[in-house]
């Protein structure tokens, strides 16, 4: 029972608190891709990449880098998420 509670605590913590080190490593890898470097260089999306909880959580996932490099549909979904979160940010509640 104690192990289960500890395991759930780890999952909840990892859901709400993104590993900054993993995020930085994944972004460093993705910046080698021209399409991502262009997004990251754009100040609007740079802010979302480094400060938006949903975007950061997505980019910190273990398999995200491979998906974004290999799968055009995943790239499109990521760009859509980025634009959606940016629009939500600038229009407010």
Cα 64 from chain centroid (whole Å): 8
Q: What is the pLDDT of residue 62?
A: 85
Cβ atoms of 12 and 48 within 8 Å: the answer is no
pTM of the prediction?
0.75
Write down the domain spans for the chain: 43-93
Q: Is pLDDT of 93 > 80?
A: no
pLDDT value at position 57? Answer: 93
CA distances from 1 to 13, 15, 31 (A): 18, 21, 43
- Both tokens of 82, joined, read 């980025």
């Amino acid at each position: 029972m104690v192990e289960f509670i500890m395991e759930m605590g780890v999952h909840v913590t990892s859901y709400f608190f993104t590993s900054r080190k993993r995020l930085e490593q994944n972004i460093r890898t993705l910046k080698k891709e021209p399409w991502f470097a262009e997004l990251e260089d754009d100040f609007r999306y740079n802010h979302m990449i480094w400060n938006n909880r949903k975007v950061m959580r997505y980019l910190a996932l273990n398999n995200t880098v491979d998906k974004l490099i290999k799968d055009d549909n995943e790239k499109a979904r990521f760009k859509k998420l980025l634009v959606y979160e940016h629009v939500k940010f600038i229009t407010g509640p």
